[in-house]
Amino acid sequence: MDYINLGNYQLEERVAFYYYKLGRKVKVDVGLAGIQIDILVKEKKACGTEITTIVKCKGYSRKVDVSVVKSMASSFHFLKQKRLADKAIIASISGFSKQSKIVAAEYGIELIKAKDLVVNLDYKQRKMISNKIKIRNNKAKRIFVAIPFSKEFHDVYILGIRDIADKLGAIVERVDEIEHNDEIIDMIRKQIDKSDIVIGDTSGANPNVMYEIGLSHGKNKPTILMCRKNKDEKLPFNISGTNHIIYETIVDLRCKLKNRLKSIES
């Protein structure tokens, strides 16, 4: 059989067709616990158990490097702890670096090359399948988060922002979680352009966060500002007049952010 020729279809659609042909339930570009997943595959075993696989697709002309694998490993570990994923796969057009193969084996991530996915479908079959597979989840809101990367903000991001956004059906992205070939500033601009909402944590007036908030305001994006309550810290002067979510605890933040996000959507 020949490798399926899908013309302008992106790699994720190619991989999705492959798993659909195998009888799996497939969704493309979905949010899972606030994490953007290229392909979500569900397979029902004979014993009745359902296996959920997350797939990341990389259409680079160069080999996938270790940073992509580590990023996938982090997402997989988080979702596995929540019992939302059982397997993880990275699909690539150009293959994988030697180091990425070693790290993938350590974290239990399967690596596959697009050329190894053999599917024999004619045009009518592809048309039928494309109508059945959820190719794009256009209803999901995209939220770009500008927040310091330090450990003290880890729970704020994961539990206070991403978990709440997921419960509201949104997809959350942070700049350090996105693989890209662009200059970092260009990539940030593109991500803010694609986002429906921007959330910025101004605690400590981190210069990178402040820059991203400035870009968001310049593009007239709905922007939610938040700041940890600190009697010794004042809000930066140029945004002190902007309504902030002032939070003391993660629980406090979750409640306030949920209400603010709902108010934007309504």
Tell me whether residue 178 is in a domain.
Answer: yes
Residues 254 and 154 in one domain: yes
Alpha-carbon span 117 to 15, nearest angstrom: 7
In three-state secondary structure terms, 155 is helix
Q: How many domains does the chain have?
A: 2
CB 179 within 8 A of CB 191: no
Tell me whether residue 179 is in a domain.
Answer: yes
Alpha-carbon span 31 to 154, nearest angstrom: 19
Average pLDDT rounded to a whole number, residues 34-44: 87
Of 195, 186, 140, nearest to 30 by C-alpha is 140
- What local confidence, expressed as pLDDT, does residue 9 receive? 46
Residues 158 and 115 in one domain: no
Residues 151 and 171 in one domain: yes
Alpha-carbon span 189 to 216, nearest angstrom: 9
Question: Which residue segment(s) compose the domain that 79 sits in?
Answer: 11-132
State pLDDT tens for residues 71-108. 899 999 999 998 999 999 999 888 899 999 999 999 99
Residues 156 and 250 in one domain: yes
Least confident of 35-49, 163-177, 183-197: 163-177
- What local confidence, expressed as pLDDT, does residue 154 receive? 87
Tell me whether residue 2 is in a domain.
Answer: no
Flag whether pLDDT at 211 surpasses 50.
Answer: yes
- What local confidence, expressed as pLDDT, does residue 191 receive? 87
- Which residues, 6+ apart, have CB-to-CB distance to 203 below 8 Å? 148, 153, 226, 227, 228, 230, 233
Higher pLDDT, 116 or 92: 92
Average pLDDT rounded to a whole number, residues 236-265: 83
**End residue of a domain, out of 82, 103, 132:** 132
Identify the band that residue 237 occupies on the pLDDT scale cut at 50, 70 and 90: low
Average pLDDT rounded to a whole number, residues 212-234: 86
- What local confidence, expressed as pLDDT, does residue 6 receive? 36
> Any idea what DSSP says for residue 156?
I
Which run of H or of E encompasses 231?
none
Of 147, 149, 125, nearest to 253 by C-alpha is 147
Average pLDDT rounded to a whole number, residues 6-23: 71
Amino acid letter, 232: D
Strand ranges in the chain using DSSP code E only, listed in sequence order: 25-32, 35-44, 50-58, 87-92, 110-113, 142-146, 171-174, 197-201, 223-228, 244-247
**If you average pLDDT over every residue of the chain, what do you get?**
81
Residues 100 and 49 in one domain: yes
Tell me whether residue 106 is in a domain.
Answer: yes
CB 250 within 8 A of CB 155: yes
Tell me whether residue 1 is in a domain.
Answer: no
Residues 105 and 169 in one domain: no
**End residue of a domain, out of 102, 132, 162:** 132
Residues 115 and 161 in one domain: no
Residues 16 and 80 in one domain: yes
Average pLDDT rounded to a whole number, residues 157-186: 79
| CATH code for the domain of 152 | 3.40.50.450
State pLDDT tens for residues 119-171. 555 555 555 555 555 544 456 788 999 998 888 888 899 889 988 888 887 88
Alpha-carbon span 149 to 228, nearest angstrom: 15
> Any idea what DSSP says for residue 259?
H
